[in-house]
Chain A
């Protein structure tokens, strides 16, 4: 297993290097000079030329590329052209918010999606199955931006039962230790802040989860249908095992193995940030940070942000493969 992991990690290096190189070239060739935005509305041609020289952006692209690779080799992800802060620090400041939202959303959507998927499979072609399938498809099709705004209007503005945006209530602000608000509330034993913070998670998580629930439900349904037609399920039923036990113990366990892949990929995608949800709910995650970097042509932010996304994708793939081997005794590395 260790040999397998080491081999996969080594294989990931050229993938990440390729992504870093492509992003570097795209940023230098197809984007505008960031000096224009840095100087604001007084960005005259002379000032831009001077600042471009000052920032070293007048150097040949190959030279800038080598400097960047040298930085990466030293573990330095570079410094933002705009804030002058190390990109790694800025990403790490935002990462807990992204992970917290991603995990919370995936947990909600997995529980609901898988449960509904099982119900649909067991009640195949019934009215309930059809209603759930249409609902799931609607959930997948709803634009997140629209859904988020509607949820805000309904739950926060009209009903006033949930907060509009942000991560916590300023009147009940949790003490920051790890950056993971829920964990920090538990560590400090601040249960009132925990309750309040959970309320802030509901609307953004729901916005993400609505689409994921539909997707998990449809996937679980199809794999369950495949499994419950297998001979061993028929044998279990013939032996007189209760239907609930057949579904939960015999069918679901095997049907969940491919579902794990879908859930893992969804989680990996969310770890890279959910830009629209973060934007609507003022959620301070990495997705929005990278998009701001793209808008500003903040080279280091975009390059390192994309590298981070690539690393997460590779890591999640590896993790899923390892988990697969653990869940399915037929697969061994």
Chain B
């Protein structure tokens, strides 16, 4: 009996060990000094965040800088350099308490005075014309002051619920740069940036790489890896090959065919993040266009387009067909009950006949020749739209321009020579205002509102949403504004590009961190040898 009991106990112990071993094997074993390899398609244009506008720059500045608030992985904000804040009753004054003991990489203090110095540099009335994000991030600021080393007070021109979210743009002009480093070498700071972020800048080798190393005194904790090397790899298929052979640790913005390739490759994980972009087919300055000023004609175009089929044919699973302008990855206004005009080519023909075009119409469409996150198929999207509309008797003439020329024409006031513009937008930050503003009156006439949509009701809703301090209320208002776009049809939203990221299994917590809508949390990545 005793022997049986001993045997049973031994078996139980073996079973316990057997159960424990896999659990132990799963525990992350990582090298805290390992370097993370990522890539960018070109050298950063600027390392001074106040001048950064492109992804090649922000992929680096995002590692080096902080701002008053930061973004959680779901896009909500958390106190960063500002430990806390209070808002006055009228919603116009924000008093930030600056976290004690934060130091720039050069050892100088990042206190309220440093924040004031930075704001003085990028505030619209002092900013240079190259500081593109100055008016976006600080346009509503009336005054600011460091009242002491730990208090920074900001007064707004009008109540603005997006103000705090905007201040989380730590890779752009909201980033805090060392005043000492700047004053020592104002010109050189663009190539030798000094911030408070998790990494210190080491070197930039033109056309080759940017190297940053761990900042051990980072105020949010010591980074869990030794540094990051951003390799410059212009060709995305080369980057995918590097990922497959261990030369890169993760690659974002994968094309659909690359996703299929990586999913079939051994040892590479592919994850998706909710989209924060939108592909837009706008009716250019439609109120001034006799053809499209009639809603029935715009509706006919919408109903003649089988967007689901177009997206499936062009992108497979890499595009979500839009039911509203608000991408699924935004903070608020994401709903599934938007009312849309259905795909109905017969009704589209009837609408055209009713509007006085029984024999169909001819329209000129402008598009671009590059691949974008919101349209990985480039000009092919225009070709598909052309083919689809032809079935309903709508003849489309396509003009394809290189990106630079395309942007120049798109932002002309008024847009001349084109009836339709196929363009898109990738959100700068997570507040839904960064999507809805595209159709605001302020952006009409040479701005992003190239359809020239001016609607009082829409403006009132948008203003109320921006001023609302209630998150849910703001979300409802943004949803109302989005529904107006779907109903009034200044533009047709064709889809939201899905963001795919492939990563090496060496990144033991890659699955948790790389699916974040808030972008890189590289400093928390853990890499095994």
Closest B residue by C-beta to A149? B237
Contact string, A70-109, partner B, CB cutoff 8 A, digits 1/0?
0000000000001111000010011001000000000000
**Which of the segments A36-44, A213-221, A261-269, A312-320 contacts the partner chain?**
A36-44
Q: What's the dominant secondary structure at chain B's contact region?
A: loop
Residue pair A164, B411 in contact (C-beta under 8 Å):
no
Given contacts A90-B206, A284-B206, A296-B404, contact A164 B242 (CB under 8 A): yes
Give CA–CA (A295, B37) in the complex, Å.
27
Asked, given contacts A165-B242, A167-B208, A292-B42, whether A282 binds B235 with beta carbons under 8 Å apart, the answer is: yes
Q: Is the CB of B413 within 8 A of A45?
A: yes
Instruction: Provide the residues of chain B in CB contact with A97, threshold 8 Å.
Output: 207
A32 contacts across to B, CB distance below 8 A: 402, 404-405, 407-408
- Inter-chain pairs besides A51-B129, A170-B37, A289-B207, 9 sampled, C-beta below 8 Å: A36-B407, A41-B426, A42-B136, A157-B241, A164-B238, A284-B205, A284-B208, A292-B42, A295-B404
Chain B residue with the shortest CB-CB distance to A170: B229
Which residues on the A side are within 8 Å of B191 (C-beta)?
A: 85
User: Are B233 and A94 in touch, CB under 8 angstroms?
Assistant: no
Q: Can you name the residue of chain B whose Cβ is closest to the Cβ of A83?
A: B45
Binding site for B on A (CB under 8 A): 31-34, 36-48, 50-51, 53-54, 82-85, 90, 93-94, 97, 149, 152-153, 156-157, 160, 163-167, 170, 278-282, 284-285, 288-289, 292, 295-297
Task: Say yes or no: A45-B447 contact (C-beta < 8 A), given A40-B54, A295-B402, A296-B404.
Answer: yes
Measured CB to CB, the nearest residue on chain B to A282 is B233
Do A157 and B133 touch (CB < 8 A)?
no
Asked if B360 is at the interface of the complex by the 8 Å CB criterion, the answer is no
B157 to chain A, nearest CB (A): 18
Cross-chain pairs A/B with CB under 8 angstroms, 7 sampled: A32-B402, A37-B407, A38-B130, A157-B241, A166-B231, A284-B232, A296-B404
Query: Would A280 and B208 count as touching, CB distance under 8 A?
Result: no
Q: In the assembly, what is the distance between CA of A165 and CA of B426, in Å?
A: 30
**8 shortest interchain CB distances as A-B pairs:** A45-B446, A284-B207, A40-B53, A51-B129, A32-B404, A282-B233, A32-B408, A54-B129
Does B91 interact with chain A (Cβ within 8 Å)? no
Is B411 a contact partner of A281 (Cβ separation < 8 A)?
Answer: no
* CB interface residues, B 141-197, toward A, < 8 Å: 187, 190-191
Residues on the B chain within 8 Å of A163, using CB: 245, 247
CB proximity of B341 to chain A, nearest CB, Å: 28
Contact of A83 with B43 at beta-carbon distance under 8 Å, contacts A152-B238, A282-B231 already known: yes
Interface size class of B (residues with CB under 8 A): 35 or more
Q: Is B443 an interface residue (CB 8 A)?
A: yes
A156 to B207, CA, bound (A): 21
Question: Which residues of A sit under 8 angstroms from B133, Cβ to Cβ?
Answer: 40, 42
Report Cα–Cα, A53/B128, bound state, in Å. 12
State how many angstroms separate the Cβ of B190 from the closest Cβ of chain A.
6
Q: Is B123 among interface residues, defined by CB-CB distance under 8 A?
A: no
* Known contacts A36-B407, A85-B191, A282-B235, A41 near B206 by CB under 8 Å: no
Q: Which of B45, B53, B206, B403 contacts A94 (CB 8 A)?
A: B206
CB distance from B501 to the nearest CB of A (A): 19
Residues facing A in B244-289 (CB within 8 A) are 244-245, 247
Please report which residues of chain B, range 387-404, place their CB below 8 angstroms from some CB of chain A when the two chains form the complex.
Answer: 402-404
Contacts of B245 in A (CB 8 A): 156-157, 160, 163-164
Question: Closest Cβ of chain A: how far from B411's Cβ, in Å?
Answer: 6
Closest to B172 in A: A40
Min C-beta distance of B413 to chain A, whole Å: 5
**Which residues from chain A contact B32 at a C-beta distance below 8 Å?**
none
CB distance from B196 to the nearest CB of A (A): 24
Contact between A83 and B46, CB atoms less than 8 A apart: yes
- A47–B229 Cα distance when bound, in Å, is 34
A136 to B241, CA, bound (A): 28
Give the residues in chain B near A41, CB-CB below 8 Å.
Answer: 53, 425-426, 428, 448
Whether, in the assembled complex, B412 has its beta carbon less than 8 Å from a beta carbon of chain A, the answer is yes
User: In the complex, A38→B57 CA distance in Å?
Assistant: 12
Q: Residue of A at shortest CB range from B37?
A: A170
Cα-based distance from A167 to B242 in the complex (angstroms): 13
A46 touches B407 (CB 8 A): no
Q: How far is the CA of A40 from the CA of B42 in the complex (A)?
A: 15
Closest B-chain residue to A30, C-beta based? B405
Please, which residues of chain B bring their CB within 8 A of the CB of A281? Answer: 238
Q: Output the nearest chain B residue to A168 by Cβ-Cβ distance.
A: B208
Alpha-carbon gap, A84 to B231, bound state (A): 21
CA distance A292 to B245 in the complex (A): 27
Q: Is A54 within 8 A of B404, CB to CB?
A: no
Chain A CB within 8 A of B35 CB: yes
**A291 and chain B: residue at smallest CB distance:** B234
Residue of A nearest to B445 (CB): A45
CA distance A53 to B129 in the complex (A): 9
Partner of A153, one of B241, B425, B428: B241
For A288, list chain B residues within 8 Å (CB): 207, 234
Report the bound CA distance from A113 to B274 in whole Å: 53
Q: Determine the chain A residues whose CB is within 8 A of the CB of B209 once the complex forms.
A: 170
Residues of B within 8 A of A297 (CB): 404
A235–chain B nearest beta-carbon distance, Å: 56
CA distance A165 to B242 in the complex (A): 8
* Pair B129/A47 contact, Cβ less than 8 Å: yes
Indicate if B340 sits at the interface (CB-CB under 8 A).
no
B55 to chain A: closest residue by CB = A40
Tell whether, in the assembled complex, residue A279 and residue B235 are in contact, meaning their CB atoms are under 8 Å apart.
yes
B413, B426, B446: most-surrounded residue (chain A CB, <10 A): B446
Which of chain A's residues have a CB closer than 8 A to the CB of B54? 40
Nearest residue, chain A, Cβ from B44: A83
**Quick one: closest B residue to A40, CB to CB?**
B53
Complex CA distance for A83 and B208, rounded to whole angstroms = 15
Contact status of A44 and B443, CB under 8 A, knowing A36-B404, A279-B235: yes
A3→B361 CA distance, assembly (Å) = 71
Cα-based distance from A166 to B411 in the complex (angstroms): 38
Nearest neighbor of B425 in chain A, beta-carbon distance = A41
**Interface membership of B468, Cβ < 8 A:** no
Once A94-B207, A153-B241, A288-B207 are accepted as A-B contacts, the answer to whether A44 and B446 lie under 8 Å apart by CB is yes
In angstroms, how far is the closest chain A Cβ from the Cβ of B274? Answer: 20
CA distance A292 to B41 in the complex (A): 11
With A and B bound together, what is the CA distance between A165 and B205 in angstroms? Answer: 15
Q: Give every chain B residue within 8 A of A51 (Cβ-Cβ).
A: 129-130
**Is B132 part of the contact surface with A, judged by Cβ < 8 Å?**
yes
Residues in chain B near residue A38, CB distance under 8 A: 53, 130, 132
Closest to B132 in A: A39
Inside 8 A of B233's CB, which chain A residues have their CB?
165-166, 282
- Given A45-B447, A85-B191, A284-B232, the answer on whether A170 and B35 have CB atoms closer than 8 Å is yes
Q: Is the CB of A93 within 8 A of B130?
A: no
A54 touches B53 (CB 8 A): no
Give the complex CA separation of A32 and B368 in angstroms.
Answer: 14
Residues of chain B contacted by A33 (CB below 8 angstroms): 408
Chain B nearest CB, measured from A159 CB (Å): 11
Q: Which of B132, B205, B206, B242 contacts A47 (CB 8 A)?
A: B132
Q: Quick one: closest A residue to B190, CB to CB?
A: A84
Chain A's closest residue to B47 (CB) is: A83
Q: Is B241 within 8 A of A166, CB to CB? A: no
Chain B residues, CB < 8 A from A167? 208
A-chain residues with CB within 8 Å of residue B231 when the two chains form the complex: 166, 282
A328 vs B217: C-alpha distance when bound (angstroms):
69
